[in-house]
Amino acid sequence: MADALPTLWHINVSHYSEKTRWALAWKDIEHRRRSPMPSSHMAVALWLTRGRRATFPVLTLDGRPIGDSTAIIAALEERFPEPPLYPADPEQRRRALKLEDFFDEQLGPPIRQLVWHELSNDPRRFALVVEQTGPASLRRFSGAAAQYGRLFTRLRFGAGSAEQAERSRASASRHSARRCASGPASSGSRRCSAATANRASPPRPNLPAHQADAQPPIGARGCDP
Ligand SMILES: N[C@@H](CCC(=O)N[C@@H](CS)C(=O)NCC(=O)O)C(=O)O
């Protein structure tokens, strides 16, 4: 039904999914959530988007599947303009979208790889993450699920490779350094630092009752635009 509630197809332990959860919470949009087992989500994403995307999150909105967190937020902004997420001022808006792109495309992938790498070397902690964030049906089998998760993240993201982790570390620091160095000159923004990153970290919105089952955020931190 075209007027059914929006449905967010997401992964609990995913910063891209968290971004869309925050947007939905900020706008207080009533919606449903579905989180199939990570790794099977790629087939679900392909099915939902008729082959266009293999990643989560995907939001179905007014019967239309929207893949990619940036496109999801743009669609939410259009369909539910209040309260806005984008700055009204065109220059501020351009900077906000650029910053979004920077985190999504430059910093997100190497940091994700590093997180999986660290977890991959710490099976106990990996199992804990599965227990705390995996689909409820899997939690009883968290040991086996963690083993499967380690295998999947090794194959998909090179989580087991120290060389890949080194490349990710170098890429993340190179991109952050470039961003922080060019920020003030190119956009008049403040310099990034641990302090500004922590200050800029968006507060977790108070979730309305229909989102009470939401998972806690996994330590997201922002950087001054
Ligand atoms: N640019 C995409 C990235 C989404 C993404 O990478 N999602 C991960 C989960 S964190 C995924 O589905 N990965 C499957 C894959 O990379 O094949 C977005 O912003 O939504």
**Ordered domains of the chain (ranges, CATH):** 7-79 (3.40.30.10), 90-211 (no CATH)
Residue nearest to atom 11 of ligand 1 (CA): 55
Supply the pLDDT for residue 1: 52
- Alpha carbon separation from 107 to 16, 89, 126, 211 (Å, rounded): 12, 26, 22, 28
Residue nearest to atom 2 of ligand 1 (CA): 68
Supply the pLDDT for residue 3: 59
How far apart, in whole angstroms, are the C-alpha atoms of residue 136 and residue 138? Answer: 5
Contacts of 216 (CB under 8 A, 6+ apart): 204
**Ligand 1 environment, Cβ below 6 A:** 11, 14, 16, 41-42, 54-57, 68-70, 104
Supply the pLDDT for residue 218: 33
Supply the pLDDT for residue 152: 92
Ligand 1 atom closest to 14 (CA): 10
Give yes or no for a contact between 58 and 49, defined as CB atoms under 8 angstroms apart.
yes
Give yes or no for a contact between 169 and 112, defined as CB atoms under 8 angstroms apart.
no
Mean pLDDT for the stretch of residues 80-97: 97
Mean pLDDT for the stretch of residues 169-187: 76
Backbone angles phi, psi at 180, to 5 degrees: -70, -35
Supply the pLDDT for residue 183: 63
- If one counts every other C-beta atom within 10 angstroms of the C-beta of residue 122, the result is 13
Ligand 1 geometric centre to CA of 16 (Å): 7
Give yes or no for residue 219 having a pLDDT over 70: no
How far apart, in whole angstroms, are the C-alpha atoms of residue 148 and residue 138? Answer: 11
pTM of the model: 0.80
Residue-wise pLDDT for 106-147, tens only, equals: 999 999 999 999 999 999 999 899 888 887 777 778 788 889
Q: By percentage, how much of the chain surpasses pLDDT 90?
A: 63
Please tell me which residue, 198 or 13, carries the higher pLDDT value: 13
* Structure tokens, 100: 């979004």
